[in-house]
Amino acid sequence: MPLTLTLTEGVLPASTVKDAIQRLTKSMLAWHELTNNSVMTPNVTANVHIVPRGSSFSGGEEFSGAWIEWKVPSFAFASREIQKGFGQDATDIIHELSGGKQPKDNVYFNVVHTVDGAWNLDGQAMSNEELGQAIAKG
């Protein structure tokens, strides 16, 4: 389940980016009741993109933002409780790690669901059912 964290340069001190990824990962796993799942945990991957100042916009004007995007099977983030809970955690994590400088209303979270059967785990395309069975073993 890839996580993409995109930040305008300076939103987080470079020394806190790894902590942000670790905390976002732990939160997502916890909200899905998958903490320490031996199948799912190593399959939560992440990329960080730092966008130069002057390259982030809101309403056509320059600003500093943070974007948290997950690509997941359709059964992940499916409940409103998980969506709201993770969204709050993610916002709080970025705000806290920014030293309180990043406004919470400039932290964005979204989820992209994959097509059933197009999820890759251990080099195999898996359906939601197959993926659920694999995760249940962990």
- Check residue 36 and give its pLDDT: 94
- Check residue 16 and give its pLDDT: 98
Which pTM does this prediction carry?
Answer: 0.93
Q: Helix/strand/coil (H, E, C) string of the chain?
A: CCEEEEEECCCCCHHHHHHHHHHHHHHHHHHCCCCCCCCCHHHCCEEEEEECCCCCEECCEECCCEEEEEEECCCCCCCHHHHHHHHHHHHHHHHHHCCCCCCHHHEEEEEEECCCCCEEECCEEECHHHHHHHHHCC
Q: What pLDDT, in 10s, does the model give residues 58-84? A: 999 999 999 999 999 999 999 999 999
Residue-number span of the structural domain to which 38 is assigned: 3-136
Q: How many domains does the chain have?
A: 1
Per-residue pLDDT for 122 more than 90? Answer: no
Q: What is the CATH number of the domain that holds 11?
A: 3.30.429.10
Mean of per-residue pLDDT scores for the chain: 95
